[in-house]
Amino acid sequence: MSTLSDLVNAQGRSSEADIEWLHRLAGDGQLLADLAFADIVIWVPTADDAFIAVAHTRPSGAATLFYRDIVGDRVRPQWRTQVRDAFQGGKIVDSASPDWFEETPTRVRAVPIMRARQGETAVAIGVLTRHTNLGETRTPSRQQITFNDCADDLFGMIASGEFPDLSAPTSPRRGAPRASDGLIRLDVDGVTTFASPNALSAFNRLGFEDELEGESLVEVVTELLPDNRQFDESLPVVVAGRAPWRADLEARGVTVSLRTIPLRDYGNRIGAIVLCRDVTEIRHQEQELITKDATIREIHHRVKNNLQTVASLLRIQARRSHSDEAREALTQAMRRVSAIAVVHDTLSEGLAQNVDFDNVFDRALKLIAEVAAAPTTRAQTRTTGRFGTLPSEYATPLALALTELVTNAVEHGLAGKEGEVEIIADRTAERLEVTVRDNGVGLPEGQVGRGLGTQIVRTLIQGELGGTIDWHTATGSGTEVTIEIPLRYIDRERA
């Protein structure tokens, strides 16, 4: 399905600022639908002076009219005149009589979506329609009347270019309050004129035992806040109803998330809507995740330190060894441990379990060049292409395998001479191909070493990464090793 941006851009009549405005309005589509107990549809004009639906939200507390998605559909003939009049006149247009939609009586309201431009009069960039199902009409409760009044206030702000408010924060935290979670209506002085049962329950859990209606929300919150405890700096502005902001209120081990929407009538503040939701469990889960992430990061840091200690011990032991064979074995073990430590060092720097492998391999390559080269060998290393980001379970075996291959190229391919080792990375959506090429003495075609290093590389690439590896003599001289690792397994694991 096309996105809002795609549908609007296809009409060629809206700017980027218009699209951003429509996105912000569509982001509050659920709030409008729940307050109005009706379907909310956003329309934009087309090149042939018709209208096309770019967003649709169904109410969560009432029956929907549109069982099939209408996004991408052109406006129906019975609504076209009403929508066009609202767009051209810049005024809210209500249907004169009930409109029938698929044998269901409905009431339609067309609201021009006005965008205020700096230094200019607000202009219409689209139309919002409210489709109310009259087939299940019953005597409205006080809550429904208040919700509808709040919806009408917001529709008026949309028609005057005062909603959505671009100064309001975007991308709310998990557990953002909705109308059904709890709604408080404030007057211009910040006094509660209505509190839904869910809102009252949330404040009861915080420790407030009286009725909210008739009380100043600022004074109520002040009484609830524990002494000598820090609180969200934006909280006073939020509970006063003066700014379109969000804040958390914490008391007695309970956390309530608040969102305020100031209400205006052509620039004059007339009150505010405060949405509230008990998010105690959600915030508790978030804190547990943060704690676990910090613990994992600390574990990686300690593992890195322990591996570096082991590498240092192996280096000391190698220097004191009188046997060339033992010294060589200890040096190789030290190098392998150090390569693994580099990956854990990268993981300890952040909370994510993915690593920038280009950074990891650059650090490992410096270590290889210093350790592997003999006094009579001058090896230059060069990396081409990018490895990209890899999960830690892929980064560790790949770093160790490449360490072995580059070491073999330096120690055996370039032994006693000057040469170059080139590492070429070629990554696509499906695979990662790495070529390690040197211009050394090469090896007989089809003959691959049988040492421990070769066995380690095979085990890591084929066994742990599910890839393939091929050794062959490069054109002219030298050895070329090609590794191919399928990346589709990474996508499956993430899914």
123 and 240 assigned to the same domain: no
Question: Domain span at residue 375?
Answer: 353-495
Q: List the single range of 56-65, 185-194, 260-269, 340-349 with lowest mean pLDDT.
A: 340-349
Residues 6+ apart with CB under 8 A from 158: 25, 111, 112, 113, 114, 128
pLDDT of res. 425? 92
Q: List the single range of 27-31, 95-99, 161-165, 251-255 with lowest mean pLDDT.
A: 95-99
Q: End of a domain among 219, 251, 278?
A: 278
15 and 154 assigned to the same domain: yes
CA atoms within 13 A on the CB side of 56: 20
pLDDT digits (tens, 9 = 90+) for 112-156: 999 976 667 889 999 999 999 887 767 889 999 999 999 999 999
358 and 430 assigned to the same domain: yes
Q: List the single range of 180-184, 200-204, 247-251 with lowest mean pLDDT.
A: 247-251
pLDDT of res. 494? 47
Residues 6+ apart with CB under 8 A from 132: 36, 37, 38, 106, 107, 108, 109
Residue 164 lies in a domain: no
85 and 202 assigned to the same domain: no
Helix pair 29-36, 16-27: axis angle to 10 deg: 50
pLDDT digits (tens, 9 = 90+) for 441-460: 776 554 566 667 788 888 88
479 and 340 assigned to the same domain: no
Residues 6+ apart with CB under 8 A from 281: none
50-64, 106-120, 311-325, 391-405, range with greatest mean pLDDT: 50-64
pTM: 0.67
Instruction: Compute the distance between CA of residue 473 and CA of residue 310 in angstroms, rounded to an integer.
Output: 36
Residue 172 lies in a domain: no
Q: End of a domain among 328, 351, 374?
A: 351
Domains in the chain, number: 4
Judge whether residue 373 has pLDDT over 70: no
